[in-house]
Amino acid sequence: MVCIRGDFLDHLSELQEVMGYSLGPQQKFRLKKFRPEQAAVVFSVIAETEKLDCDESFLEELTEQELAGADDGLISPVDIQILAWMIAGQAGHEERAFNRITFQKLGGVEGLLERLMNTISTNENPAGDLSQRKSLLIIQAQFQQAIGQREEAARLFLEAAALEERLADGFRQAGNAEDAAISLFSAASCYKSAGRMTEAVACAEAALSLTSANGFAEEIRRFRDECQKTPSPTGQRTLRGIVRNGAVYPFEPDVLAEGELVTITTA
C-alpha cells in the first residue's frame, strides 16, 4: 500500500517504477475528510505506533470541539497529519503525547501550527528546486486555511499553482507528458483551493490533453466537472492566456512551453 500527499503526486511514477508495478484505476483512492470520532481513532493508532502517551477522552474532545470544520463538522486529513507530525517531532518525552497537559504546554492547536510554520521558515531554502518550494507553499496555505486566514491561504495556493505550471512546462520540454499532466492536475487542485474555478478547469483540460492513463483521465474529468459546477467569485471574469513577445494569446495546452502562462482577473 502506498500513501502519498497530493503535492507529491508527481513522484508516484517513480515509486511505481521502483516497485515494478503500476496501480490500476480501481486501486487509487483519494482520502476524504474524517468524522471527529474517526479522527480520534486515527490519533490513537498514531500514538500507539509511535509509543506516545494518549488520553482518548481528550482526543474525542479535541477532534469534536477544535478540529472539526465549522461548515461540515469534518476534519481534514491534512490537519491530522500536521498535528501528529508536530507532536511526534517534539524533543522532550513530556511534549510527545496526546493529552491535555501537553497541548496546553504547546499552546493548543494554534501553538502547534505556529511551531510548524517556524520549522518551515527555518528549513526553507529559497534556492531549492521548484518541487520543494511548491510543497512548502502548499503546507503554508493549508496552515493559513486551518486558522481561518482564507485570503492568505488563497494567495499561497495561487503561488503554488504557478510553480506547478512551471514544473509541467519543464516536464513537457523533457518529453515527459504524463508527469506534465500530473503537475497540471496538481495546479488545478491549487486553483480550486484558491476559489479560481476557471483556472482549475483550464489546467484540468490541459492535463487531460497530455495523459494516456485511463484511470487518471477519469479522475481529472470528475474534478473538472465538479469545478465547472462551482462558480468563481461574483463579479469577476477570469481570462487565460500565453504571453509571447509582450502579447497575450488564447490559452493553448500545446504551446504551454513556448511562453509564460498568465491569469487576468477583471471586475
Tens digit of each residue's pLDDT (9 = 90 or more) over 72-115: 888 888 778 777 777 776 666 667 788 888 888 877 777 766 77
47 falls in which pLDDT band (50, 70, 90)? confident
State whether 232 and 137 are in the same domain: yes
β strands within the chain, DSSP E: 53-54, 97-98, 237-244, 247-250, 260-266
**Mean pLDDT on 212-236:** 76
Final residue before a domain boundary, out of 57, 86, 120 = 120
Question: Which residues on neighbouring strands pair with residue 261, listed in sequence order?
Answer: 242
At 35, list the grid cell: 468524522
The pTM of this model reads 0.58
If you count DSSP H runs as helices and E runs as strands, how many of each does the chain have, helices first?
A: 11, 5
Final residue before a domain boundary, out of 67, 98, 120 = 120
* Coil/strand/helix, residue 261: strand
* Coil/strand/helix, residue 206: helix
State whether 41 and 106 are in the same domain: yes
β-bridge pairing 260-266 and 237-244: antiparallel
State whether 111 and 136 are in the same domain: no
**Is-contact 61 251, C-beta < 8 A?**
no
State whether 82 and 154 are in the same domain: no
Final residue before a domain boundary, out of 91, 120, 149 = 120
**Mean pLDDT on 63-76:** 82
**Is residue 12 domain-resident?**
no
State whether 178 and 70 are in the same domain: no
HSE, CB side, 13 Å, CA atoms: give it for residue 119: 15
Name which of 71, 72, 46, 44 is nearest 58 in CA terms: 44
> Torsion over CA of 240, 246, 247 and 248, rounded to 10 degrees?
0
State whether 257 and 150 are in the same domain: yes
**Is residue 21 domain-resident?**
no
**Is-contact 52 88, C-beta < 8 A?**
yes
At 236, list the grid cell: 469577476
- Considering the chain, what is the average pLDDT of its residues? 75
State whether 75 and 162 are in the same domain: no
At 265, list the grid cell: 482577473
State whether 220 and 249 are in the same domain: yes
Q: Is the pLDDT of residue 120 over 70?
A: no
Q: Which domain covers residue 99, as residue numbers?
A: 36-120
